[in-house]
Structure 1
Amino acid sequence: MILDDLVNATQQNMLKRREKKSLNSLKKEVNNIPSSNTFSFEKNLNQSNISIIAEIKQASPSKGQIVSPEKFNYQQIADDYKNAGVDAISVLTEESYFKGSLGILTDVAARNDIPTLRKDFIIDPYMIYEAKVAGAQIILLIVAILTDDKLGEYLSLADKLGLSVIVEAHNDEEIKRAVSARARIIGVNNRNLKNFTVDFNNTIRLRKLVPADILFISESGIKNRTDVETLEQNGVNGILVGETFMRATDKIAKINQLRGHE
């Protein structure tokens, strides 16, 4: 299963990073960071207009190389997203399959004041501290790869560090677990992480299982204004869009198109 491969690769890469920087060193760095996060991302999600999380990623396991390395100017992409007024920027930091890095996240977070999301397969508290040090204001926790105890532990740690959390679920059972863990934001991935097929109706079906006071994000497979209108009509607070933006020649125009501002 590809999800197992992703988790194994994440574990190996994290262990290599821990050899260079210990958890205690990361904690010391976190202690020196001024407490400034006011969970603005969550406040933005509560607005009437659907929020847009625009993603920076070079490759993916399902699509391979999305943007050629010589054209992957992530700083320019971040500037385009900022100029388009997106609500958050998601940065893939998984190295082996998505060709991301913490360095990209650090640069993007330092480049602007838009909340940044560390998009990765977080399996250890070490990675949450890494996200904080890199300047992220949001992290992703995937229910499918965490036990209930770990999910609760990581949510508490993120809250302590001033990080918002998108708890990602893919089916009915995972939605129940996310709600039980008291997630403030639940994201439904329309892409099945075991076989990478996309079912856009996954969001619509699972939205009905989430209490109205929990913020709700739809991820993957969102391509046009019609898709966004459908989600708006089904009570979705925000969308996370990656490949559609990464393949767009004019990213600002594409974002405006999804908003209906053509």
Structure 2
Amino acid sequence: MPRFKDALTKSGTNIIAEIKYSSPSHGPFACKLSPEDIGKVYRDHGAAAISVLTEEPRFNGKLEYLRKVAEIDDCPPLLRKDFIRTRDQVKEAADHGASAYLLIVRDLSPGLLKDLLLYGEDRNLEPLVEIHDAFELEAAMDQGTRLIGVNNRDLRTFEVKLDTCFQIAKLLEKEKVYTLVAESGIKERSVILELQDAGFSGFLIGSVFMDAKDPGKKLLELRGEA
């Protein structure tokens, strides 16, 4: 399995296609495919990586979904997406086949963020550090992280503003050491092209696929291959 960050820095449109069956802001999604079957659809239609929601109460996720997707042939790099707050959760990610794990700056003290970054590094996992504003960006940069996810969704209100990504990109326009991933609210190819011009190389997208009649066709469309 290739490295997560490497998959996001290739030429073209690098989409992290997400597997999730429900969300607090949406409710249940239309897709009824098994995790391994939707994983195969994503793989076959050019996803750079796959994100698997493992949080159960709000997203109907399960840790076992991660292992099931990891077992498909030629699986792209896997991201464990959850509200990770403990070392045990990081270890679970590694044990179930993930090559990367999500850390949300808003949920973690600076000390805990640092600890979970180092703990994952020791297990050859790559952290995707999620931020929403300039304050959280500074906290992520203080820890030396180079892979930053910018969430357009405010987790307190669930409001989505695409301008969030563009505002953060402006703060980093002179910094060339960061790999930026845009998260939430991305539904159109035109938006992806604008974000690429702003400096983003990865795009974490889930809802639009999980509600699509043909997730593979939608993935090709957003990649510019349809």
Q: Same fold (TM over 0.5)?
A: yes
TM band (smaller chain): over 0.9
CA-atom RMSD in angstroms: 1.3
Task: Say which is worse superposed, 95-104 or 46-55, in terms of deviation.
Answer: 46-55
Aligned mates of 2:6, 2:76 — CA distance in 1: 13
Larger helix proportion of the pair: 1
Match of 1:173 in 2: 135
Q: Which amino acid aligns with 1:89?
A: I
Bigger radius of gyration, 1 or 2?
Answer: 1
TM-score, normalised to structure 2's length? 0.95
Preserved CA contact (<8 Å) 1:170 1:192: yes
Aligned mates of 2:40, 2:33 — CA distance in 1: 13
Residue by residue over 1:17-44, the C-alpha shift from the partner in whole angstroms, topping out at 9 and shown as x without a partner, is: xxxxxxxxxxxxxxxxxxxx7x622122
Aligned residue among 219, 222, 225 for 1:258: 222
Task: Say which is worse superposed, 97-106 or 249-258, in terms of deviation.
Answer: 249-258
Which 4+ residue blocks in structure 1 deviate beyond 4 angstroms? none
Aligned residue among 88, 95, 104 for 2:65: 104
Aligned mates of 2:17, 2:189 — CA distance in 1: 15
Counterparts of residues 130-169 of structure 1 (less than 5 Å):
130-169=92-131
How far did 1:83 drift? 0.2
How far did 1:92 drift? 0.3
Aligned mates of 1:200, 1:49 — CA distance in 2: 21
Match of 2:12 in 1: 49
How far did 1:184 drift? 1.8
Identity %: 39
How far did 1:176 drift? 0.5
TM-score, normalised to structure 1's length? 0.82
Q: Which runs of 5+ in 2 are unaligned?
A: none
Aligned mates of 2:55, 2:9 — CA distance in 1: 29
Preserved CA contact (<8 Å) 1:122 1:140: yes
Match of 1:182 in 2: 144
Preserved CA contact (<8 Å) 2:14 2:223: no
**Is 1:74 matched with 2:35?**
yes
Q: Report the count of equivalent residues.
A: 223
How far did 1:73 drift? 2.3
How far did 1:85 drift? 1.8
Q: Which amino acid aligns with 1:110?
A: E
Match of 1:244 in 2: 208
